[in-house]
Amino acid sequence: MTRRRDRSAALIAGLICVGLIIAIALVSLLYQPYDPSDTSGGRLVAPSLAHWAGTDQLGRDLLTRLMMGAQIALVAGGGSVVIGGVLGIVLGLGAAFATRWLDDTLSAVLDILIAFPTLLLAMLVIAAQGASLGSAVLAIGLAMSAIVARLVRILAKRVLAQDYITAARTSGSSWPSIIGHHILPNIWPTVLVSLAIQFGAAVLAEASLSYLGLGAPPPNPSWGSLLQQAQATVYTAPLGAIAPGILLVLLVVGMNLLADGLRDVGDPTQRRRA
């Protein structure tokens, strides 16, 4: 009981954190305090009524850039999860249904992909595609697909061994129908939790790439590049580093809380008996 109350508390806390970032991103779509490349504010101005979070070393309004950064973080997380989720589910189901040697081969490839550092993979993609948010999302999504595929494969195999799959087949269900009606709904709660965690990891990965200058090129206001730019002036203007750091933590921790809270959702055996 306590455990379940903890979970709904986690769900609510996660929704608040993530909701806040989404709200910031939505507002920034409609309204920005300044043009993000407007440098008329003066360099490294302290927070004031005109510039709530001050300005950066080029004189750009920091609040505007933080708000735009929320868009980038959400696109990075969402885009990677879509690529990694779709590819991972398809690959994982494929492996679960494949013949023995194909399954073994796929599993070995997945293990190698998972062991391969995401940043290294990202550099390869960026070398081929050029540095951009798209390249970063593609690289992070590809790395994520291996993790998702391995999870989906093992979950699908476990479901496939259940009596209700045999029972469904005895009543003439085709494999596509069994995948749609039985396998996906049964693995979905666990996959969803994993995707929520992966979302947070993808946000961090994109920030790391931008920090290293491998994300969207300047004047891209990713929180990672804001952190990088603030590094030189961290003692004189600490807010430049603290603010993007806090937003990053809020989103990543929020997604993890959400993941924890989601564990019970979609599992009717956890609901009350009729």
Which tokens belong to 115?
């062991």
Output the smallest distance, CB 94 to another protein, in A: 17
Q: x/- string (CB under 8 A) for another protein, residues 34-63?
A: ------------------------------
Output the smallest distance, CB 185 to another protein, in A: 5
Among 169, 231, 232, 246, binds another protein (CB under 8 A): 169
Output the smallest distance, CB 191 to another protein, in A: 13
Output the smallest distance, CB 169 to another protein, in A: 6
Compare residues 126 and 159 and give the one whose CB is closer to another protein. Answer: 159
Please give the residues from 139 up to 168 whose contact with another protein meets the rule CB under 8 A. 162-164, 166-168
Contact 73, 223 (CB under 8 A): yes
Compare residues 4 and 169 and give the one whose CB is closer to another protein. Answer: 169
The DSSP code sequence of 65-112 is HHHHHHHHHHHHHHHHHHHHHHHHHHHHHHHHHS-HHHHHHHHHHHHH
Displacement of CA 211 from its chain's centroid (Å): 17
Judged by CB under 8 A, does residue 273 bind another protein?
yes
Q: 61-70: buried (b, 16+ CB within 10 Å) or exposed (e) per residue?
A: bbbbbbbbbb
Residue that the structure tokens 């960026």 belong to? 126
Output the smallest distance, CB 98 to another protein, in A: 13
Please give the residues from 174 up to 213 whose contact with another protein meets the rule CB under 8 A. 174, 177, 181-182, 185-186
Compare residues 5 and 272 and give the one whose CB is closer to another protein. Answer: 272
Distance, in Å, from the CA atom of 99 to the CA atom of 97, rounded to the nearest integer, reads 7
Instruction: Kindly state the helix (H) or strand (E) to which residue 50 belongs, with its residue range.
Output: none
Residue 158's contacts (CB-CB under 8 Å, 6 or more residues apart) are none
Output the smallest distance, CB 172 to another protein, in A: 3
Judged by CB under 8 A, does residue 236 bind another protein?
no
Judged by CB under 8 A, does residue 265 bind another protein?
no
Among 1, 49, 115, 274, binds another protein (CB under 8 A): 274
Give first-to-last CA distance, the chain, whole Å.
18
Distance, in Å, from the CA atom of 242 to the CA atom of 85, rounded to the nearest integer, reads 32
Segment lying near another protein (by CB under 8 A), choices 109-117, 121-129, 249-257, 265-273: 265-273
Judged by CB under 8 A, does residue 4 bind another protein?
no
Judged by CB under 8 A, does residue 8 bind another protein?
no
Give rounded-to-5 percent helix, strand, coil for the chain.
75, 0, 25
Residues in contact with another protein, total (CB under 8 A)? 24
Instruction: Kindly state the helix (H) or strand (E) to which residue 266 belongs, with its residue range.
Output: none
Output the smallest distance, CB 111 to another protein, in A: 23
List the one residue out of 178, 180, 228, 196 whose CA is nearest residue 69: 228
Residue ranges in contact with another protein by CB under 8 A: 162-164, 166-174, 177, 181-182, 185-186, 266-269, 271, 273-274
